[in-house]
Structure 1
Amino acid sequence: MKPLLRNLTPKIIFITAALLSLLPFISPAIALSMGLILAQLIQHPYAAASQKATHLLLKISVIGLGFGMNIFSTIEAGKEGIVFTVISIFGVLTLGYLIGKSLKIDFKTSSLISAGTAICGGSAIAALSPVMKANEKQISVALGTVFILNSIALLVFPAIGHLLQLSQSQFGLWCAISIHDTSSVVGAASKYGEQALQIATTVKLARALWIIPVSLAASYFFKTDKTKIQAPYFILLFILAILANTYIPFAAKAAPYLVEFAKAGLSLTLFLIGSGLSFKTLKSVGITPLIQGTTLWILISIASLCAILALTST
């Protein structure tokens, strides 16, 4: 009986905490913190299933957030972020290559960290790893690096934004450029305000489309089959959700409920991400990849913030 209880207890704790993260008063930051704490206290009872669920939940949540947006304001937000997007992506990829080389990090690991920082975190790493023929160790190190920095960003970015008195549009743009994963971008922006959330989500998903050209370049460089390239098709559904909210009255009426459902899904997504970041995972990353990822992240955060403050109005 006792061994059975020992096996059941982590599962009960995990499921209870996951259900708590769905409650409306649990913010994305709190959900992530709950996951991080739990990861240090118990062994993850659903590690493999959690990883798969995270990717699916994130896509569903992002599509749901589309029902809270208007196509005209979305286009305006996308136009504002396009220059920052292009410059930052090429800048981060170049700097990442130079930093990785100077630290003597394995080229594929370094490239995955750079792409994850430049484009959209774990999604970019997952899409590029088969194209680059990366092994499990290289993928896990890159993902670990990105998820650690994502967790920090989600917790500190809103505080910095308020300290610097950034406007909603400035903060949304800064999040989209400087935070790796879409989940953490949306989590940080939703804490700051609705306008910040709309701008951050739109610009971040526009960045995610760069997975396709970067994957094509990687397939040429690593001589792999182009059919391995994974296009982010869920972005099309996100756009369709925005169009439905703008032009279909029935969808517009249901939109508030769909958006709340999406936000709850996002909190659960971040809880699952946090629950996978145990001390063992952090230790397996190693110091040099973490130095590369942290240096890139700090540089892009400071450079983009300075550019946004200089070029945009409040």
Structure 2
Amino acid sequence: MDKIRLSKVLFIACLVLCATPWVGTAMALIMGVFFSLLLGNPWLQKSAHFSKILLQLSVVGLGFGLGLGDVIRTGKDSIVYTIVGIACTLILGYLLGKLFKTDKNTSALISFGTAICGGSAIAAMAPVLKAKNDEIAVALSTVFTLNSVALLLFPLIGHLLQLDQGIFGTWAGLAIHDTSSVVGAASAYGAQALTIGTTVKLTRAIWIAPVVIGMAFFKKSEQKAKIPLFIIGFVLAATIRTLLPQYGHYWGELAAIAKQCLVVTLFLVGAGLSREVLRNVGVRPLLHGITLWLSVSCLTLVTLVFFGVA
């Protein structure tokens, strides 16, 4: 059996294993990263495409595990932190871009991805800035690399500081870039953290649309932004659970399936961290991204610990 065929067989075997309860989110991510770096992902583009679809479906499925009241309450409680956090992150990102002399568009994309929703935010903002492919690739690579670190690091810090699940979930939702890493870190910490982290993250992601529209107006661009459909699906799922509580058992089953699908998703996310992605991350963008992310994470955590969640 040649190397390519062997890697395909092992890749499928890992996917099947991640679909079982024996593998958790952190382990799935580590498996994906090591698989990609050691054997190479045989379906790099396809797995990246399907990971996005599976993530969106999983997030919608998680909505069946929540009541609409919980979604509204959590979103309302975190709204001030979300607005202030986005504004401060964008300002700090701009200043750090000047400090590290990062390319203007790359700096803006990294800052926007850190402030709101990682790769989704970068993809939405790139046309407005008329960013080149290499600028988009560097920004995505930087954010993606830090996402992988956050998924493993945040639960360790949370346990070390003995954070309660409410604070941890809010912190993860506000300070981690992509939805996949938020739900991965939060689910590893606990069920309540997952509920809060996912809702806070999706509340944050809604801001993609108004910020992109604002930037388009400033840049005099015709680019339009829309609220991601999976956020609408998440709210609809929570609404269905609330309106039809008699089918609670089935909604719980759907939510459980969604959680396991997230494990598979994180394997695919980890398998996307290829050698090429690592090579795309230059020193200046990486320093910019790390400094911004650490600053936002630390300031958010200190604020939550001292002032708590409303």
Is the shorter-chain TM-score for this pair beyond 0.5, marking a shared fold? Answer: yes
Q: 5+ residue gaps in structure 2?
A: none
- The answer for the alignment partner of 1:159 in structure 2 is 156
Q: Does 1:13 align with 2:14?
A: no
**Rounded Cα–Cα distance in structure 2 between residues aligned with 1:173 and 1:63:** 19
In the TM superposition, residue 284 of structure 1 has moved relative to its aligned partner by 1.6
**Rounded Cα–Cα distance in structure 1 between residues aligned with 2:68 and 2:228:** 20
**Rounded Cα–Cα distance in structure 1 between residues aligned with 2:211 and 2:94:** 14
Q: Does 1:258 align with 2:261?
A: no
- Residue of structure 2 aligned with 1:106, choices 96, 103, 106: 103
- The answer for the alignment partner of 1:182 in structure 2 is 179
- The answer for the alignment partner of 1:84 in structure 2 is 81
- The answer for the alignment partner of 1:96 in structure 2 is 93
In the TM superposition, residue 230 of structure 1 has moved relative to its aligned partner by 4.1
In the TM superposition, residue 233 of structure 1 has moved relative to its aligned partner by 1.9
Q: TM-score, normalised by structure 1?
A: 0.95
1:1-314 alignment, distance < 5 Å: 5-227=2-224, 229-249=225-245, 251-312=247-308
Q: Which runs of 4+ in 1 moved over 6 A?
A: none
| 8 Å CA contact retained: 2:127, 2:223 | no
**Rounded Cα–Cα distance in structure 1 between residues aligned with 2:261 and 2:294:** 29
Identity fraction in percent: 47
Q: TM-score, normalised by structure 2?
A: 0.96
| 8 Å CA contact retained: 1:244, 1:251 | no
**Rounded Cα–Cα distance in structure 2 between residues aligned with 1:148 and 1:193:** 24
**Rounded Cα–Cα distance in structure 1 between residues aligned with 2:107 and 2:236:** 35
**Rounded Cα–Cα distance in structure 2 between residues aligned with 1:176 and 1:109:** 24
In the TM superposition, residue 191 of structure 1 has moved relative to its aligned partner by 1.2
Structure 2 counterpart of 1:179, one-letter code: I
In the TM superposition, residue 174 of structure 1 has moved relative to its aligned partner by 0.5
Structure 2 counterpart of 1:256, one-letter code: G
**Rounded Cα–Cα distance in structure 1 between residues aligned with 2:220 and 2:261:** 38
In the TM superposition, residue 251 of structure 1 has moved relative to its aligned partner by 4.3
* Deviates further, 212-221 or 52-61: 212-221
**Rounded Cα–Cα distance in structure 2 between residues aligned with 1:206 and 1:188:** 17
In the TM superposition, residue 56 of structure 1 has moved relative to its aligned partner by 0.8
In the TM superposition, residue 313 of structure 1 has moved relative to its aligned partner by 6.8
In the TM superposition, residue 261 of structure 1 has moved relative to its aligned partner by 1.3
In the TM superposition, residue 245 of structure 1 has moved relative to its aligned partner by 1.1
**Rounded Cα–Cα distance in structure 2 between residues aligned with 1:128 and 1:253:** 41
**Rounded Cα–Cα distance in structure 2 between residues aligned with 1:230 and 1:74:** 21
Q: Name the SS of the counterpart of 1:67 in structure 2.
A: helix
1:162-214, CA deviations, whole angstroms, 9 ceiling, x for partnerless residues?
Answer: 11111111111110111111111111111111111111111110000100011
**Rounded Cα–Cα distance in structure 1 between residues aligned with 2:308 and 2:3:** 56
Aligned residues: 310
| 8 Å CA contact retained: 1:68, 1:245 | yes
In the TM superposition, residue 78 of structure 1 has moved relative to its aligned partner by 1.3
**Rounded Cα–Cα distance in structure 2 between residues aligned with 1:68 and 1:28:** 18
1:16-75, CA deviations, whole angstroms, 9 ceiling, x for partnerless residues?
Answer: 112211111211111000001011112221111112112111110000000001122222
| 8 Å CA contact retained: 1:28, 1:187 | yes
Change (3 A) 1:49 1:230: farther
**Rounded Cα–Cα distance in structure 2 between residues aligned with 1:166 and 1:105:** 35
| 8 Å CA contact retained: 2:51, 2:269 | yes
Q: 5+ residue gaps in structure 1?
A: none
Structure 1 counterpart of 2:267, one-letter code: F
